[in-house]
Structure 1
Amino acid sequence: MEYLEFKISCKEEFIEILIAELAEVGFDSFLEKEDGLEAYIQEDQFDRVAFQEVLDKYISMANISVEEGRMEKVNWNTEWEKNYDPIAVGEEVYVRASFHAPKEGVKHEIVINPKMSFGTGHHATTYLMLTHLLNLPHHGKRVIDIGAGTGILAILSHKLGAATVEAFDIDDWCVDNGNENFELNGMSHVKMGLGTVREVNPQGQFDIVIANINKNVLLDEMEVYETLVKPGGYLLLSGFYDHDVIDIEASTASFGLSKIDQMVKDKWCAVVFKKK
């Protein structure tokens, strides 16, 4: 599967805004640069009209210039190794790549070798979701990660004692990468699925449902998420800005889900809901 690559130069204060806007029109991977960002999208998912509408909103204010290209699959482990540093989430979680040395005394160490997949803990949404998961009961629970990317959130749920973990993504690169990361973290028995939540059609209900995607997809799939959450279970959502919470809450409330926790980092938001 080929990706389109867009090297976007802009003012620094508009980088996060453009990432959020482009994520909502289908872009699934980003690299932040000092002078802008690189944005990637599967060729068959690209909507040029929607892309141009995003640029037009900010082009004069942000001094935007764009260089477009096409790319074949590359070794993203090598690319990430150039800039990928380990991160700590509180005092309990340490996320590193296999080429980093282990850290002594860490309760939960997660090894992630990212390819094109989104989710290394560096982005605010992933960091926030990891933090939320630490605060939820996992022992003996059933967990599902929708749009799992690298599989990092599913991996933490497993390490926190979940009895079963399911995960899937729409990107075949993510599926391959997620399965590799599962093996690195002692989860070879878990296989990541391919497709949307409607295509995968998970069976039964779950104690914890995770979806770190983007606002438009979350709103579209909310009715499905509600059916997957057990009564008394939790729904964790991220991939949107803090000013979008009002729309997310309006949707979850209509399905009997109540907000119990919310965190914001770099204007990105992650929210925990509980089913009545």
Structure 2
Amino acid sequence: MIYLEYSFTIKPIQPATDILIAELGEVGFESFVETETGLLAYIQETDWKASILKDVSALYHPNFKIDWSHKKIQQQNWNAEWEKNFQPIKVGEKCMVRAPFHPPEQVEYDIVIEPKMSFGTGHHETTHMMLQHILDTDFVGKAVLDMGCGTGVLAILAKMKGAVSVDAIDVDEWCYLNAKENVERNDCEDIQVFQGDKSLLCGKKYDVILANINRNTLLEDIPAYAECLNTGGILFLSGFYLEDLNAISSKCADRGLEFEKKLEKNNWVSAKYVN
């Protein structure tokens, strides 16, 4: 399998890098490695076209200076690339997210993630905030949905905190397979992992829904989340910026979901809504 590697030099690094990753993901780029000067982004040659960057607005934003070049490469050992860059993280004093090659520490929730190229290691602000929300919430006996599960890290922590059932869904095949591996690695085999989208939610009911995706997908899917959220249930959303919060909250309010609180980190937001 042949890939194209795009090398971006970015000034200032943030928030331009996060915005660029989000936009590149929407046009078909499937993996990213952040560097000291910017970003490496990868897309399969079969998904590439000459105009691929035409609608990536971050590249032309007046407050960012982004230069880029690209080259064709053969498939790499992606795990080896991750191992060079993936460091363990702690969320508060109770939770650690680490790779199998990191030594364990004495924490209540020790989560081992082989990230491959799936999103959700805890390093990104949105994942970190969602983990914070889970740590602050009672999951004992709850039925939980992790929508857009990526590595499955949110589903795994929810299960560790006592959820009685957990569904993890992602539209991407790589994420689906990676999540299945990670739930087994953390002895959470009873987490049900599915490949698909909101159409899988028909007839389902949950006490807690976790969705760390992106603004546009959330706005489209919130009605489906509201439909399958039990009375008194909780919806945690992330993957969007502070300036998008009003639009997200308005869509939730239209479906009877009340905004309760938010976390903020580097202009990213994770919000809690109750049914």
TM (norm. structure 1) is: 0.89
Q: Which residue of 2 aligns with 1:78?
A: 80
Alignment of 1:166-181 (within 5 A): 166-181=167-182
RMSD over equivalenced CA pairs, Å: 2.4
Contact 1:5 1:68 (8 Å CA) reproduced: yes
After superposition, the Cα gap between the structure-2 partners of 1:2 and 1:181, relative to the gap in structure 1 and judged at 3 Å, is farther
1:68 deviates by: 3.4
Q: What do residues 87-134 of structure 1 show as CA deviations (whole Å, max 9, x unaligned)?
A: 000011011111111102x11110001111000000000000000111
Of 47-56 and 84-93, the range deviating more from structure 2: 47-56
1: CA distance, partners of 2:209 / 2:118: 20
Contact 2:19 2:58 (8 Å CA) reproduced: no
Q: Which residue of 2 aligns with 1:64?
A: 66
1: CA distance, partners of 2:97 / 2:90: 6
1: CA distance, partners of 2:134 / 2:201: 24
Amino acid aligned to 1:75: N
Aligned residues: 273
Q: What do residues 173-194 of structure 1 show as CA deviations (whole Å, max 9, x unaligned)?
A: 1111111100110012334211
1:58 deviates by: 2.6
Contact 2:20 2:58 (8 Å CA) reproduced: no
Q: Which residue of 1 aligns with 2:20?
A: 18
Amino acid aligned to 1:257: L
1: CA distance, partners of 2:93 / 2:196: 35
Q: Which residue of 2 aligns with 1:94?
A: 96
Q: Which residue of 1 aligns with 2:149?
A: 148
2: CA distance, partners of 1:204 / 1:273: 19
Contact 1:210 1:237 (8 Å CA) reproduced: yes
Amino acid aligned to 1:98: P
Q: Which residue of 2 aligns with 1:7?
A: 7
Contact 2:166 2:192 (8 Å CA) reproduced: no
The unaligned stretches of length 5 or more in structure 2 are none
Alignment of 1:1-276 (within 5 A): 5-11=5-11, 12-13=13-14, 14-23=16-25, 27=29, 29-40=31-42, 51-55=53-57, 58=60, 61-69=63-71, 74-104=76-106, 106-198=107-199, 200-275=200-275
2: CA distance, partners of 1:167 / 1:239: 17
Q: What do residues 51-109 of structure 1 show as CA deviations (whole Å, max 9, x unaligned)?
A: 422247635542322233566654332211111111000011011111111102x1111
2: CA distance, partners of 1:179 / 1:141: 21
Of 58-67 and 225-234, the range deviating more from structure 2: 58-67
Q: What do residues 134-162 of structure 1 show as CA deviations (whole Å, max 9, x unaligned)?
A: 11220000001111000000000000000
After superposition, the Cα gap between the structure-2 partners of 1:43 and 1:243, relative to the gap in structure 1 and judged at 3 Å, is farther
2: CA distance, partners of 1:175 / 1:208: 20
Amino acid aligned to 1:89: V
1:266 deviates by: 1.4
2: CA distance, partners of 1:264 / 1:48: 37
1:243 deviates by: 1.1
After superposition, the Cα gap between the structure-2 partners of 1:35 and 1:175, relative to the gap in structure 1 and judged at 3 Å, is same
2: CA distance, partners of 1:170 / 1:2: 22
1:23 deviates by: 4.6
2: CA distance, partners of 1:42 / 1:221: 28
1:21 deviates by: 3.9
Amino acid aligned to 2:193: M
Contact 1:25 1:47 (8 Å CA) reproduced: no
1:207 deviates by: 0.5
2: CA distance, partners of 1:2 / 1:152: 29
Of 163-172 and 2-11, the range deviating more from structure 2: 2-11
SS at match of 1:53: coil
The unaligned stretches of length 5 or more in structure 1 are none
2: CA distance, partners of 1:266 / 1:71: 33
Q: Identity across aligned pairs (percent)?
A: 43
Amino acid aligned to 1:99: F
TM (norm. structure 2) is: 0.89
SS at match of 1:52: coil
